[in-house]
Structure 1
């Protein structure tokens, strides 16, 4: 990789911190939703709130030169009036300072899904009021940490967050309402533009981007019908985030189709101007799998996600009525959570994104969730090592072909709470004993990645050229 390439791992505040009612933190929509429904929660998670110094020490000893993490909005802003919680401000100063003291570059996300409950109660992201609240929050954060932090991202995976909460309904607020899905999608992208504008007006010296849940689009053949379905799928999965944030343009064909059935009058002329004039400087791509697409063949919309692991294996299904269907390659390998293992999709996805947008790319999440026995003396996670090796190899191939990729973050630093998947879905390079004071134990992949980081990727085993029977965009 190029000199100064960022090698690190990633977490999210709700998934790793714990301390849910400590240090002046107020409840998030996840706290309320999980407690009300008596579901497994992140009250303790990985206890990063109390053990962050050990975690950062492990990062340093593991060869990291960067750490991607998010700030908890409920830990920083107390209420609708925008009152600042100084204990929360101080906590993140401590985390950032600990990173810098250990030679680790902080790579910070403003919003990784833990919306304060007081904002959820006024409509959440489907309300324009939350855009203004996000602006206020961003201004506080930029002022506090701007002289220490070079890399900022506004949102983590706005598409996944909105669709899961407002349309699929498996995440809070757990509803199925297409009109509210459209509103929340638009307001998050408007908030992204307003935060970018604010960052630049404040004279910050760093760089600001956005992180997207990236699903490169592949088709089952090169027929016209499939190409139309692929375009619809690309709008659904990718373009309304990437085109909007990078080009400042919401896909007009998508808006046209939505306008036929839904009320778009909440989108104001000044909003489009703000979005156009305030685009990001880089993009973070979270890659887990591609989307293989065929033309829509009939029936109602189905958006079913496997949050049950092995018990629900094979239950995931995505059909968007009159738009497209996602299908599964029977020759591929899948995780217990129905995620296809397809490194070629990362290589081709990087090339697609770089050819289209031409801005710096960071692979901000990539990893594999597995069931693991962490009680053994040595955790030999060879499957994870193979997965990571093949995906880093895919990045190296894209870089060799001219793509400007500047960093790679494994999901995740340590085992953590994986939303509705609970704690059994383990992604970490460091094991967490959730039953025993969250004690840390590095896995084989931790030591393997240390060599990758310290060699700047030279220890990666190179693979043969890819071969595919499917059509990519």
Structure 2
């Protein structure tokens, strides 16, 4: 690995900070939704708001050289008028300054799902005004922190918060409407371009990108029907984010297909021009699994995702487009996530060939139930998972891909959206029931050795 390669962990404001109503922070859409539904929430989470120094110090002691975190929009902007909360800015200055104190490179995401509820009440991402509000939020952050930050990203995983929020309905705002999904998706990509434009207009130092939940698409065979299904799946899973952010264009065949049944008149020439002119400097790819598909056969659209940790609950069928299937030879987690490191290698090569932009693997990890009351969690399964996925990155680099960083999800246990706190990803155990005690897991020490060796200790293998 190059000596400038970034090794780190990734978190999200809502999933780790807690302090949901502290220091004039406003309510987020997730605060509102989870409180209303009476579901496990991130009110306290990992209490990173009060324990950030300990957490960042442990990252340093674990050999990590970068920390990817997000800024909470409702912590920084008080209202629809755009009034700034100085206490929110002060908190993130402390986070960033602590990173620099420990020689940790901050890698900042502007939006990781926690829209202010005061904007959700106006329609959220269905409201074009929210795009301008995000531009304002971006400008506030660029002006405040630009002298301390080299790497910015606009959005984390537009696919997940848009599809789950507006199409599937299992995330806020809990809608199930294709037309509204299209509008919200379009607005998010437009907002991303506005943020990039503001970054460039301000001539701020550093680079700006986007982070995507990347699921490279494979087919069950090489038939024409399967290849068509793969293209549908790729447009649904990946291309409307990556093509738009990196090339400045929505996939034309996706727009054409949707226009057969839905209204696309919301796509205005002025917006499309801004999207075209404001593409990203790099892409961040969050990889957990691939998407394996076969041609659509029969039945209605079904999108069921496992939030219970009971195997076999997931199902993805999009009527007339494709069906997702499971490889009987693969291993799956209790949450139905396939463990398939070859997908990362293939996907990195595919993305680099397509976009010719630097790539950061901005999330990669495995969520499991763990007993954290022991002295040290023996998570050999996580070590094996990380070894094989870092190996996949190295294979892609050998093939010529420009990959500049790897971030495990996550440096410490945190709240995992509707999976609650029992789905643990951290290298450091957090005992949520016992004063938030932090204890490094076996994987924490292993990762330190890998980083210090610049990955020379990775067990190399070639995937068929």
Q: TM-score when scaled to structure 1?
A: 0.98
Residue 431 of structure 1, aligned match among 429, 435, 457? 429
- In structure 1, what is the Cα distance between the partners aligned to 2:76 and 2:6? 28
SS of the residue 1:466 aligns to: coil
Match of 1:5 in 2: 5
- In structure 1, what is the Cα distance between the partners aligned to 2:158 and 2:387? 28
- In structure 2, what is the Cα distance between the partners aligned to 1:93 and 1:155? 20
- In structure 2, what is the Cα distance between the partners aligned to 1:397 and 1:201? 38
SS of the residue 1:309 aligns to: coil
Offset, 1:24: 1.0
Match of 2:183 in 1: 183
Match of 1:234 in 2: 234
SS of the residue 1:406 aligns to: strand
Contact conserved, 2:248 with 2:278, CA < 8 A, in 1? yes
Cα deviation code 1:212-249 (max 9, x no counterpart):
00000100011100000100100000000000000001
Match of 1:327 in 2: 325
- In structure 2, what is the Cα distance between the partners aligned to 1:94 and 1:377? 31
Match of 2:146 in 1: 146
Match of 2:290 in 1: 290
Offset, 1:251: 0.4
Match of 1:384 in 2: 382
Match of 1:441 in 2: 439
Match of 2:48 in 1: 48
Match of 1:85 in 2: 85
Match of 2:357 in 1: 359
Matches within 5 A, 1:8-407: 8-310=8-310, 313-407=311-405
- In structure 1, what is the Cα distance between the partners aligned to 2:98 and 2:20? 21
SS of the residue 2:209 aligns to: strand
SS of the residue 1:414 aligns to: coil
SS of the residue 2:336 aligns to: coil
- In structure 2, what is the Cα distance between the partners aligned to 1:371 and 1:121? 36
Contact conserved, 2:72 with 2:111, CA < 8 A, in 1? yes
SS of the residue 1:378 aligns to: coil
Offset, 1:323: 0.6
What is the number of equivalent residue pairs in this alignment?
Answer: 464
SS of the residue 1:266 aligns to: coil
Offset, 1:420: 0.3
Offset, 1:3: 2.2
SS of the residue 2:92 aligns to: helix
Cα deviation code 1:132-169 (max 9, x no counterpart):
10010000000000010000000000011100111111
- In structure 2, what is the Cα distance between the partners aligned to 1:449 and 1:329? 29
Match of 1:466 in 2: 463
- In structure 2, what is the Cα distance between the partners aligned to 1:445 and 1:39? 30
SS of the residue 2:106 aligns to: strand
Offset, 1:456: 1.2
- Unaligned ranges ≥5, structure 1: 468-473
Cα deviation code 1:66-110 (max 9, x no counterpart):
000000001000001111000000000010000011100000000
Cα deviation code 1:421-451 (max 9, x no counterpart):
0000000000001011211110000000011
SS of the residue 2:141 aligns to: helix
Match of 2:416 in 1: 418
- In structure 2, what is the Cα distance between the partners aligned to 1:456 and 1:18? 34
Match of 1:471 in 2: none
Q: TM-score when scaled to structure 2?
A: 0.99
Offset, 1:23: 1.2
Cα deviation code 1:279-308 (max 9, x no counterpart):
000000000000001000011100110011
- In structure 2, what is the Cα distance between the partners aligned to 1:176 and 1:193? 26
Contact conserved, 2:375 with 2:439, CA < 8 A, in 1? no
Match of 2:450 in 1: 452
Cα deviation code 1:329-354 (max 9, x no counterpart):
01100000000000000000000001
SS of the residue 1:319 aligns to: strand
- In structure 2, what is the Cα distance between the partners aligned to 1:62 and 1:377? 17
Cα deviation code 1:377-415 (max 9, x no counterpart):
221000000000000000001001100000000000110
SS of the residue 2:430 aligns to: strand
Offset, 1:454: 1.2
SS of the residue 2:30 aligns to: helix
Cα RMSD after superposing both structures: 0.6
- In structure 2, what is the Cα distance between the partners aligned to 1:264 and 1:423? 40
- In structure 2, what is the Cα distance between the partners aligned to 1:406 and 1:395? 10
Structure 1 segments of 4+ aligned residues over 3 angstroms from their partners: none
